[in-house]
Amino acid sequence: MASYETRVQPALDWLGVHHSQLVERLREYVRIPSVSAQPAHAPDVGRCAEWIAGRFRAAGLATEVHPTRGNPVVVARTPRVEGAPTFMVYGHYDVQPPEPFELWTTPPFDPQVRGDDLFGRGSSDNKGQHLAHLHAVEACLASGVGLPCNLVFLVEGEEEIGSGALHDFLPLHRRELACDAVVVSDNGIPDLRHPALTYALRGIAAMEVRVDGPSKDLHSGLFGGTVENPAMALCRLLARMRDEHGRILVPGFYDDVMPLSEYERAQLARLPATPSEYLALTGSPALFGEPGFTPEEQRTARPTFEINGLTSGYQGEGSKTIIPSWASAKLTLRLVANQDPGRVIAAVKAHLERCCPPTVRLSIQHGHGAVPYLTSPDGPMARAAMEALHEGFGHPGMLMREGGSIPIVSAFKEHLGADTLLLGMALPDDNAHSPNEKFNLRAYAAGMRMAVHLWPRLAAAARTSAA
C-alpha cells in the first residue's frame, strides 16, 4: 500500500493551489457578525448557520440546519463509506461580542489581512479553525484522494454562551451522532513550532452575586456611618473568597481537585511558555499565582475564582456623594478534574452566606456551568493525532492542557461515549475574546494539512482499537 504521504499528496496540492480562495472564504465567514450574546444579532446568527451549511453542501456533504430552542445546529456528513469508522468534528459559528470597538485597528466584522494574520472577531475562535477542517475534507474529496472514514460535522451557534441548545440536542440525536471519537479545533498551541494535542480543559461555574442595602441611593453625608455601604460590603465579601495568591478560601474547595502526575508536569515543562512571555502577552506589571506551580500549570491544572464584572453606584462623569442602594458582581470559577460545577456552586454559595454581614441582603443567581475534561494522552488515536500534527506543522506534536472551557466536550463523553482529541490552531497572541482578534494564516494552512493527514491515521487507529 502506498504511504500516507503519497496517497494524500493531491489533497495537499489542492490546498496549496486554492490557498488564496480559502482565505477569502474565511473573510466572508468572519464578515457575518454572529454574536450569540446579543439578541440584536439573532438574524446574523441565523444567516451564519446558513452560510456554513452552504459551504458544507458545496464541498459535497449532506447538510441539515436544525432549528433548536436557541440558535440553529448545523450537521453535515461526508459520503457514506461502509464499514469504516466515524468521527465527529465539532465547532462553533457564534462569536464573542466585539466591544470595545474603539480598540480595534480595523473593524471587527470587516476582516483584513495584515502580514500573516487575518484580523476579525471570530477569526480564530472559532470560524477559522473549523473552516480549516471543512477545507481539508473538501480537498480530499475534490482531489480524488477521498476519505477512509465517515465524518459528521457538528457546528453550533451557542458555544460562547454555554451551549444550552446543543446540550438538549445531543441526547436526542445520539444515534445519528454516534462516532468513534470527536475532533475539536477550538483551542490553541504555544507557537507554530510546537503543535500540540490538548488532553484537558478546565470546567466553569458562573454565578451573579448581589447585595442590597438601603431601598434607594442615599446622601452619604446624611446617612454615611449609620448604614452599611453595599459596594463596600460586596468588596469585603468577595475578598474573603480568595487569598492574595489566588488560592480559594471556600472550605472543602480543593477536596476533589486531581493533582498533576509527575509525567504530566514533565510534559508541560517541555512547552516553550516562559514567565516573561506571559508578561508580554498580558501586559500585566507582574505575574501572580499559587506558589509551587508554573504559569502553565496554574492556568490549566488549578482552579480559579474570578470577578468578571463589578457594578455599583454612580459611574457617570464627575462625583456624586451617595451610598449606593446595591452592588453586584459577575463571577466565574474555572474548575479542574474532578470538580463538579454543581457541588462547587453549592460550596461557594454556602461560604458567601456564612460570610455575608446582616447589614445587606444577599442574593445569588446561578449561571452556566461546564464539567472539566480530562482524557488519557496516550493510546492509538492520540498517537495518530500526534503524527498528523507533525506532518501538518512540520514539527513534532507536544502534549498540553488548556485553561479555557468548551462546555460540550464532556457531554460528548457522556452521551456518545466518545473521547475528544483537541487539536488547536490558535496562537497565544490571537487575542481570543479581546480587541483585534486574529487568525494566523500559516496556522490556518498548517491546520488544513494536519487535518488531511489526520483521517487516514485516525481511521487506522480506530480499526486497531476496535480489533
Piece in contact with Mn ion (CB under 5 A), picked from 121-129, 235-243, 260-268, 380-388: 121-129
Site stretch for ligand BES (CB under 6 A), options 20-28, 68-76, 158-166, 318-326: 158-166
- The least CB distance from residue 365 to ligand BES, in Å, is 16
Closer by beta carbon to ligand BES, 264 or else 402: 402
State the Cα–Cα distance between residues 260 and 271, nearest whole angstrom: 16
Question: Contacts with ligand BES in 383-442 (CB under 6 A)?
Answer: 402, 404-407, 432
First to last CA, the chain: 20
The stretch among 60-68, 117-125, 130-138, 300-308 that binds Mn ion (CB under 5 A) is: 117-125
Q: Which residues on neighbouring strands pair with residue 398, listed in sequence order?
A: 196
The interface partner of residue 381, options being Mn ion, ligand BES, none and the CB cut-off 5 to 8 Å by kind, is: none
Site track for ligand BES across 351-380, x = CB under 6 A: -----------------x-x----------
Partner whose footprint covers residue 197, from ligand BES, Mn ion, none (CB < 5 to 8 Å by kind): none
The verdict on 159 binding ligand BES (CB under 6 A) reads: yes
Looking at residue 351, its amino acid is H
Q: How far is CA 295 from CA 2, 267, 269, in A?
A: 44, 14, 10
Residue 397: how many other CB atoms lie within 10 Å: 23
Nearer to ligand BES, 147 or 423 (CB): 423
Residues 250-289 contacting ligand BES, CB under 6 A: none
| Nine-digit cell string for 35 | 454574536
Q: What are the grid coordinates assigned to 447, written together?
A: 491546520
188 binds, among ligand BES, Mn ion, none (CB under 5 to 8 A by kind): ligand BES
Of 125 and 264, which has the nearer Cβ to ligand BES? 125
**Residue selected from 44, 125, 180, 297 as contacting Mn ion according to rule CB under 5 A:** 125
Taking residues 189 to 218 in sequence order and writing x for each that binds ligand BES by CB under 6 A, - otherwise, the string is: ---------------x--------------
| Interacting residue ranges for ligand BES, rule: CB under 6 A | 125-126, 159-160, 162, 186-188, 204, 368, 370, 402, 404-407, 432
